[in-house]
Amino acid sequence: MKKLGVYLIVVVVLLSGTGLAQGAVVSSYWRRMEAGFPNQVTVYGLLKEYQYPYAEVKVQIPQLIGALDQQWQAQFNTELATKIEAFAQEIMDLGAEVYAEYGDGVVMPYSAFVDYEVKTNHGGLLSLAITAYSFTGGAHGMTHIDYINLDLTTGHTISFADLFPTDDELSRVASIISEKIAQEPDAFFIDQFTPGLFEPDQGFYLQGDQVIVCFGLYELAPYVAGIQEFAVSAP
């Protein structure tokens, strides 16, 4: 399934003139995750549904309200909606092509479903997980999850490297993953996880005082094992 690519959104500065150095921002994330106050920004779902003989689509598009910078908020909401609607349109177009060729011979209509979950919304931090499922024939559909992690006080998109900036920290996270693999060796494709296996756009979300490091279908384990998640506490 084609990724939504929502993590590619360019997040502009939400509050200019904060004067925070990058090092100060990074060092505060863990503390703010644990003890931050609720944000004034909230998230609501914009529902879009389409039903055709060849395709069934239902998407919940997360949209922000309450940001101090209304221009940034409008741009963020528009770009995210555009990407999710493009994903839904792609599935509908594929279904229409097959239906035009085979008509009622199509066994099952194509389908696309998108939903989201707010993982963290406090301490000036916002973490979203956007789940996209598509079925275009075959034995089963495919699920992909995109993660958006924002520092709302600066407009900075929080990256995996922001939270684990050193080789020692990457090794610590890799060890946590390896420990879980060792507990269920038959459930994974590999025997040990090494820091070099992290992707530049490594998926993760913030929850409570932990970072949940995520791997998609087939990345570390078979389809039946689902999305793999590993909880990492503060250093």
Same-domain pairing of 113 and 43: yes
Same-domain pairing of 73 and 48: yes
Mean pLDDT of all residues in 23-27: 50
Q: Which tops the pLDDT comparison, 84 or 106?
A: 84
The CA angle 142-94-138, to the nearest 5 degrees, is: 40
Predicted confidence at residue 131, as pLDDT, reads: 98
Q: Which tops the pLDDT comparison, 155 or 75?
A: 75
The tally of domains found in the chain comes to: 2
Residue 9 has pLDDT above 90, yes or no: no
Using CA atoms, how far apart are residues 211 and 113, in angstroms rounded to an integer? 26
DSSP output for 123-183: TTEEEEEEEEEEE-SSS--EEEEEEEEEETTTTEEPPHHHHS-SHHHHHHHHHHHHHHHHH
Give the tens place of pLDDT for each residue, 54-71.
Answer: 999 999 999 999 998 999
Tell me which residue of 126, 128, 99 sits closest to 115, measured CA to CA. 128
Same-domain pairing of 73 and 176: no
Domain that holds residue 172: 164-235
Last residue of one domain, picked from the residues 97, 131, 158: 158
Predicted confidence at residue 44, as pLDDT, reads: 97
- The CATH number linked to 184 is 3.90.640.20
Last residue of one domain, picked from the residues 94, 125, 158: 158
Same-domain pairing of 169 and 127: no
Predicted confidence at residue 49, as pLDDT, reads: 97
Give the tens place of pLDDT for each residue, 201-219.
Answer: 999 999 999 999 999 999 9
Same-domain pairing of 78 and 102: yes
Q: What is the mean pLDDT of the chain?
A: 88
Give the number of C-alpha atoms closer than 13 A to the C-alpha of residue 14, restricted to the C-beta side. Answer: 20
Give the tens place of pLDDT for each residue, 70-103.
Answer: 999 999 999 999 999 999 999 999 999 988 888 7
